[in-house]
Amino acid sequence: MERKFLLYLLYITLVDIRERSYEKKDSYTFGLCDLLHNIPLQLITEDGAKEAYEYLLSNVKEVEIENWLENRKEEFYSRFPEHKN
């Protein structure tokens, strides 16, 4: 229950940030939240996580955040080197 609730909190927080960024005409933050907001709820299952990752990779260019994603990947691998291929 705790894990699902925390994932829900992440989801609803991204939705709230997306809404506020739309109101403030912050297209970068809006696009980022719009792309990511459904991912937390998909993380509940392994299949959902794989689908979310594929969705992210296939839509990152649309939001023009390729560099952002590459930087996050580098940070991730620096923090968790055991996951680097």
Predicted pLDDT at 61: 85
Q: Which domain holds residue 58?
A: 2-83
Q: pLDDT for 29-75, tens place per residue?
A: 999 999 999 999 999 999 999 999 999 999 998 878 889 999 999 99
Predicted pLDDT at 75: 96
Q: Tell me the pTM.
A: 0.83
Predicted pLDDT at 62: 81
Burial class (CB in 10 A: 0-12, 13-18, 19+), 1: exposed
Q: Would you say 18 and 11 are in contact if contact means Cβ atoms under 8 Å apart?
A: no
| Average pLDDT of span 9-22 | 97
When divided into structural domains, the chain yields a total of 1
Predicted pLDDT at 42: 95
> Is the pLDDT at 85 greater than 80, yes or no?
no
